[in-house]
Amino acid sequence: MKVAVLGAGAIGAYVGAALHRGGTEVHLVARGAHLDAIRSGGVKVLSPRGDFEARTPATDDPAEVGPVDYIFLGLKANSYASAGPLVEPLLHDRTVVIAAQNGIPWWYFHGLKGPYEGRRIESVDPDGSVTEVLALDRAVGCVVYCSTELEGPGLVRHLEGTRFSIGEPGGGVSDRCTAFSEAMIAGGLKCPVEADIREDIWIKLLGNAAFNPISALARATMVEIAQHQGTRAMIRLMMEETLEIAAAVGCHPDISVDKRINGAERVGEHKTSMLQDLEKDKPLELDVILAAVVELADLTDTKAPTLRAVHAVADLLASKIGTGPSLAHAPTSAPAPAARS
């Protein structure tokens, strides 16, 4: 098995190092000082589960890697549409794309039996631009339950969690998912193959869709949001509305809102990824985390007033700092079904 990690940041480098430790041929695609450090000294992982190092090939030019069996996407979802020149050199006829992203993926309705099968979600796949780069039949979903951070070039600190749930858009347990899962497990990670990966997507999104935008708007940590009476009530409403939308598109995750909020409170003084991006003046992942949820509310005639209100303000914030589209240019109704490649 040959794997390329495209976007070998904190999560990507950690996964690449673990796969290498398990005996998989891994190539990391990175840039800048991080790339220089990996080339000279490999990836160093500091973890409560035990520190380790991995000296694996690294480059900023995927053409040097050539076609691979699996691409593990460690890029932010808002960069997928522009990733064509990075992805194309890595592809052969059966290359699988493991997309470790937050929020609603571009392939969400691919292979999903029901009234919305094959429908494109404009917020996450505008004009089919992501599907053009990442063909639907290559996609395997991945929900990350792992926290890492880059402490310096080539140096990853693993904080908690080793679970990377994967699954086919069409459901079931495929050979390609099983093979990748076995490689991850050999490297010391948990990688269950889920028969319905969408349930995992909604369970994680339940927290992200609520806490991420509120944290960016209020510049607040998880525990601050959970312990403030007003924002705690708002988070509850957003989660309840998110579950209503999930049910409307046929997914019924078995999760308690109270349990989800209490769990977030126990995380403590943690800044969400959206707040961290805001502080670093990086693009916000608003489209996949919240705009897509609102689009699905439009599609299913779900009211979701709190989600809509928070999205409107968060969208304004993103547009003012130049990291996102304005609602003035966003669709107000569900897009028509698009052809699939």
Residue 158 shares a structural domain with residue 250: no
Residue 135 in any domain: the answer is yes
Residue 48 in any domain: the answer is yes
- Which tokens sit at 300? 């299913």
Neighbours of 151 (CB within 10 A): 12
Last residue of a domain, one of 195, 220, 243: 195
Identify the pLDDT of residue 312. 97
Residue 338 in any domain: the answer is no
Strands 43-46 and 52-54: antiparallel
Q: The CATH number of the domain where 237 resides is what?
A: 1.10.1040.10
The per-residue pLDDT for range 229-287, each reduced to its tens digit, is: 999 999 999 999 999 999 999 999 999 999 999 999 998 898 999 999 999 888 999 99
Q: The CATH number of the domain where 28 resides is what?
A: 3.40.50.720
pTM of the model: 0.91
Last residue of a domain, one of 150, 176, 195: 195
- Catalytically annotated residue among 204, 259, 271, 320: 204
Strands 70-73 and 43-46: unpaired
- CA angle (8 as vertex; 105, 200 as ends), nearest 5: 30
Residue 153 shares a structural domain with residue 279: no
CA 142 – CA 194 distance, rounded (Å)? 10
The length of the chain, given as a count of residues: 341
Residue 337 in any domain: the answer is no
The per-residue pLDDT for range 109-164, each reduced to its tens digit, is: 999 999 999 999 999 999 999 999 999 999 999 999 999 999 999 999 999 999 99
Number of domains in the chain: 2
Query: Which stretches does DSSP call E strand in the chain?
Result: 2-6, 25-29, 43-46, 52-54, 58-59, 70-73, 96-100, 139-152, 155-167
Residue 28 shares a structural domain with residue 159: yes
Residue 179 shares a structural domain with residue 58: yes
- Domain of 28 in residue numbering reads as 2-195
Residue 294 shares a structural domain with residue 160: no
Residue 174 shares a structural domain with residue 246: no
Per-residue three-class SS string for 105-133: CCCCCCCCCCCCCCCCCCCCCHHHHHHHH
Residue 213 shares a structural domain with residue 138: no
The per-residue pLDDT for range 14-43, each reduced to its tens digit, is: 999 999 999 999 999 999 999 999 999 999
- Which tokens sit at 289? 């985390």
Residue 335 in any domain: the answer is no
CA 12 – CA 290 distance, rounded (Å)? 24
Identify the pLDDT of residue 322. 57
Residue 65 shares a structural domain with residue 152: yes
Residue 279 in any domain: the answer is yes
Residue 150 shares a structural domain with residue 259: no
CA 334 – CA 312 distance, rounded (Å)? 17
Strand partners, 96: 70
Q: Are 156 and 136 in contact (CB under 8 A)?
A: no
Residue 169 shares a structural domain with residue 231: no
Residue 74 in any domain: the answer is yes
- Which tokens sit at 247? 């049910």
Residue 163 shares a structural domain with residue 17: yes
Name residues whose C-beta falls within 8 Å of residue 270's C-beta, 6 or more positions apart in sequence. 221, 222, 223
* Residue 133 Cα distances to 38, 70, 75, 176, 341, angstroms: 27, 15, 13, 20, 10
The question of whether 204 is a catalytic residue gets the answer yes
Last residue of a domain, one of 170, 195, 220: 195
Q: Is 271 exposed, middle or buried (0-12, 13-18, 19+ CB in 10 A)?
A: middle
Residue 240 shares a structural domain with residue 178: no
